[in-house]
Chains A and B, each alone.
Chain A
Amino acid sequence: EPEVTQTPSHQVTQMGQEVILRCVPISNHLYFYWYRQILGQKVEFLVSFYNNEISEKSEIFDDQFSVERPDGSNFTLKIRSTKLEDSAMYFCAAEDVPAGGLNEQFFGPGTRLTVL
């Protein structure tokens, strides 16, 4: 079964540094998402992406965050200047049709980001 992969599995960085989290979605999927889960808290929606544009973003997704799909395969989440509170597990998800229907979002295994 095709799967979503994410790299790295664990990223440790110093506060203020930039990080890029990478996701390789399933090849025929067109809708992409980032979620995050701070330890002990809920999985929270960050952003959705379709046709090289952000479709929706949450309040969490401020100017420090950006997403892109530069080469038509990798889907990246960049945090420009990391803060301690950015430490979380970041999940990428991919879907093949628009939101609202029962079309499963396939999730990657996550990248654990630790900001020191």
Chain B
Amino acid sequence: GEDVEQSLFLSVREGDSSVINCTYTDSSSTYLYWYKQEPGAGLQLLTYIFSNMDMKQDQRLTVLLNKKDKHLSLRIADTQTGDSAIYFCAERDDKIIFGKGTRLHILP
């Protein structure tokens, strides 16, 4: 069945780049997403990539997609304290399939 895997924790120093990695199984997924969840809040769509793209950049965010390896990554440049959150990788064909989420912790 469909599955999305990602590491659970990442600690990064403020100002450094954060890279969150994800693997997925469903090669028919049309879109791949990154959602952000801040404490007490819902899931916010952070960015997405269409399955026929291999890279997308949006300000401090860079999404890389390797379709052959079914590997997706999210790079956050110049990580700030406000980036502290849980980041969910997700794939979508019809419904959204989420990973467990990576908790990003920012070190001073």
Contact = CB atoms under 8 A, between A and B. Distances in A.
A binds B: yes
Nearest to B38: A109
Given A42-B100, A102-B48, A102-B50, A107 B95 contact: no
Nearest to A44: B98
A56 interface: yes
Identify whether the interface residues of B are mostly helix, strand, loop, or mixed. strand
A48 B94 CA distance: 10
Contact of B97 (A40, A45, A48, A100): A45
A25 interface: no
A43 interface: yes
Identify whether the interface residues of A are mostly helix, strand, loop, or mixed. loop
Contact of A109 (B4, B41, B88, B100): B41
Interface residues of B, number: 23
13 contacts: A40-B100, A41-B100, A42-B99, A43-B88, A45-B95, A48-B95, A91-B42, A93-B43, A100-B30, A104-B45, A105-B96, A107-B42, A107-B44
Contact of B94 (A56, A91, A104, A106): A56
A100 B93 CA distance: 6
Contact of B42 (A4, A44, A48): A4
Interface of A: 4, 33, 35, 40-45, 48, 56, 91, 93, 99-102, 104-110
A4 B44 CA distance: 11
B44 A42 contact: no
A95 B92 CA distance: 14
B40 A109 contact: yes
A105 B31 CA distance: 13
A45 B93 CA distance: 13
Interface string B26-60: 00001100010000111111001010000000000
